[in-house]
Amino acid sequence: MKQRTIAKCVDLVGIGLHKGVPVQMRLEPLPKDSGIVLYRKDKNVKIPLHPKNVVDTKMATVLGKDGVSVSTIEHLMSAVYSYGIDNLLVILDNDEVPIMDGSAIAYCMLLDEARICVQNAPKKLLKIKREVKVQDGEKYALLRPSDGFALDFTIDFDHPAIGRQHYRFEFDLPSYIEQIARARTFGFLHQVQYLRSQGLALGGSLDNAIVLDEKRILNPEGLRYEDEFVRHKILDAIGDLSLFGMALMGEYEAYAASHHLNHLLTQKVLEDTRNYEVVEAKTKTMEGYVIGAACAKE
């Protein structure tokens, strides 16, 4: 299996979740072995996708370098990972990735428009060799050895519209688009009100999040899946795990995990080479679903 980038440049405009201002985003192909790079063109700073560049995980996964940051990368990166893209330049004119509808489906559509091209270099996999776990009280996230990539997530909210939800996802791209990509982020009304008092979540609305009061879901259209909440947690986890910079061979399991725990997990895996090895991908999991195209000469 070979590395992948996109076949052509594509553009998207949307609102940033926290500042509530328009953000222009452009995706451009990169040569083999370049990795995923975020570029703040308003600051002329490039930030490679890597755990060492994570600067905040409170409300979202935030990358930063030289005092310049890009927030809320996880939904875009979830889609980029799922399409098997290894090399990509993400150009932004502000400090947030557009939130779109709060899920990853808009980014999937954008990548379908860009089309995928296969590059003349072997694709690399991060193979988990032994179990690695991080924990905060009852909350935990772990990676264990596996022949493929699967995610097993449980949440438990003391709320009548959520409660305890569990979902196991055996990864492949068609299943991701059908089962995971449309699951939206969610929040509680009292949290939104507090965040706005702090100058955050100014772009949040019923158009880009599931919002709940103390008893019910406020979105008039309801849910896209009956267990949309836990599915979105899997969407987020895929985006957070994309910071490894390569496809995963391992099984992820979590209970009530957060962006912060996911970040700690990536750090803990990489701090000891006995936890993993980098191998060349031999499978063709995504072949035949995303249309391949000829890459520009590198």
Residues in CB range of 8: below 8 A, 6 or more apart: 29, 114, 115
Whether the CB-CB separation of 276 and 127 falls below 8 Å is answered with yes
In the chain, how long is the greatest CA-to-CA distance?
57
**Quick check: helix, strand or coil at residue 27?**
strand
The one catalytic residue in 18, 259, 260, 263 is 259
CA 39 – CA 47 distance, rounded (Å): 6
73: left (phi over 0), alpha (psi -120 to 50) or beta: alpha
Are 47 and 53 spatial neighbours (Cβ–Cβ below 8 Å)? yes
CB within 8 A of 248, min separation 6: which ones? 125, 126, 128, 143, 149, 241
259 part of the active site: yes
How deeply is 37 buried, as exposed, middle or buried, from its count of CB atoms within 10 A (0-12, 13-18, 19+)?
Answer: middle
- In angstroms, rounded to a whole number, what is the distance separating the alpha carbons of residues 14 and 202? 13
Tracing tokens 């195209």 back to the chain, one arrives at: 293
- Active-site residues, by number, are 259
